[in-house]
Amino acid sequence: MSNKEMDQLREQLDSLNLQLLNLINERGRIVQKIGEVKGKQSQYRYDPVREREMLNTLIENNDGPFERSTIEHIFKEIFKASLELQEDDHRKALLVSRKKKPEDTVITLKGHQVGSGEPSFVFGPCAVESYEQVATVAKAIKDKGFKLMRGGAYKPRTSPYDFQGLGEEGLKILKQVADEYDLAVISEIVNPADVEMAAKYIDVIQIGARNMQNFELLKAAGAIDKPVLLKRGLAATIEEFINAAEYIMSQGNGNIILCERGIRTYEKATRNTLDISAVPILKKETHLPVMVDVTHSTGRRDLLIPTAKAALAIGADGVMAEVHPDPAVALSDSAQQMDLKQFDEFVKEVQPFSQQSGMRI
């Protein structure tokens, strides 16, 4: 073949490429129009029956030289790309994603900022048991200059015969103590119907690990104007965790703190396995503040200090740990809460560490 003939063939190819490009894009525009109609009718966009019909027609009309399997493969790719065109923006970039919002979300709680660069600390008992118990811990928190307190009034327990929490009474105690000591208070809510009521008493609604995929609860928390602390589910992947946060944000509430609290693995040395690498992944993928609960992830008092340091070193915005005036008599999680003396040691060890920004990875 002469060079001239070769050049002509190449020219033909170049022109066919452009025609194919135009045709594919024209096809894409039609698919988008169909997508808009389907969207209005709330129809699911993927239609395998229709895809099969289109493939059959193509194969019937295929005179080669491409084989049937090759034609199927090429058109399947075109169908897939078209389907992606029909997907709405949220699918491509979640509201909680950095893609959607590159700047960090900072949440202000009674003047204290979570996610601003300085680490936050949340301390308090596993469960609210009495005014005196909460007030004793609140005083210790305040004396150390911290601002955030936790305490469960609704306790999701493994056994129905275990202490279930004081309910609204517990929330009232938290509010009273928080007002007296000027603290912001975080407490778990388990029932979507309680979210609005709870918002009158507390500063942050906690959604616990066992409820991370309670979608009605997520939607209820998303519909109010109150920050939410969302804990990672016991067996939730990071993707599921992020999507759970998206449920909240899709309802309009973007004030969400993510909390890694360990996942269930075959390891028995700790109560759960702290997935420390989840922290930088969540920080990278989302714009939300990320905390680490060192109490429930380890279930071991002797690991609270090293895991808290690890959390801050890897970039967590805060650490949560349980403190009880007398853990031995606590009505829940008695083995893992710190007493006030251990609380002192924890703060002495971890706080200076958190201020050494050079420790950040």
**Residue 51 and residue 68: Cα distance in Å, rounded?**
15
The smaller minimum CB distance to Mn ion, of residues 203 and 333, is found at: 333
What residues numbered 98-127 form the site for Mn ion, per CB under 5 A? 126
Look at residue 188 and give the partner it binds from ligand PEP, Mn ion, none, a contact being a CB closer than 5 to 8 Å depending on partner kind. ligand PEP
The smaller minimum CB distance to Mn ion, of residues 126 and 323, is found at: 126
* Total of residues contacting Mn ion (CB under 5 A): 2
The smaller minimum CB distance to ligand PEP, of residues 208 and 289, is found at: 208
Run of H or E including 350: helix 340-355
* Total of residues contacting ligand PEP (CB under 6 A): 10
What string marks each residue from 93 to 132 as x (binds ligand PEP by CB under 6 A) or -? ---------------------------------x------
Q: Does 333 interact with Mn ion (rule: CB under 5 A)?
A: yes
Please state, as a whole number, how many other Cβ atoms lie within 10 Å of the Cβ of residue 29. Answer: 9
The smaller minimum CB distance to ligand PEP, of residues 144 and 210, is found at: 210
Q: How far is the CB of 269 from Mn ion (least distance, A)?
A: 19
Residues sharing a CB contact under 8 Å with residue 188, sequence separation 6 or more, in sequence order: 152, 153, 154, 155, 156, 205, 206, 207, 208
In eight-state DSSP terms, residue 224 is S
Q: Is 134 exposed, middle or buried (0-12, 13-18, 19+ CB in 10 A)?
A: buried
Q: How far is the CB of 192 from ligand PEP (least distance, A)?
A: 16
Q: How far is the CB of 127 from ligand PEP (least distance, A)?
A: 7
Q: Which stretch binds ligand PEP (CB under 6 A): 9-17, 22-30, 202-210, 275-283?
A: 202-210
Q: Site for ligand PEP (CB under 6 A): which residue of 261, 271, 287, 324? A: 261
Look at residue 209 and give the partner it binds from ligand PEP, Mn ion, none, a contact being a CB closer than 5 to 8 Å depending on partner kind. ligand PEP
- Beta-strand pair 112-114/120-124: unpaired
Task: Give the tokens for residue 291.
Answer: 């905390």
Q: What is the DSSP string of 33-79?
A: HHHHHHHHTT--S--HHHHHHHHHHHHHT--SSS-HHHHHHHHHHHH
Task: Give the tokens for residue 127.
Answer: 């469960």
| Residue found under tokens 């493939």 | 55
The amino acid occupying position 159 is S
What residues numbered 228-257 form the site for ligand PEP, per CB under 6 A? 231
Q: What is the DSSP string of 251-275?
A: TT---EEEEE--B--S--SSSSB--
**Residue 20 and residue 17: Cα distance in Å, rounded?**
5
The smaller minimum CB distance to ligand PEP, of residues 86 and 295, is found at: 295
What string marks each residue from 287 to 306 as x (binds ligand PEP by CB under 6 A) or -? ------x--x----------
Binding site for ligand PEP (CB under 6 A): 126, 152, 188, 208-210, 231, 261, 293, 296
Binding site for Mn ion (CB under 5 A): 126, 333
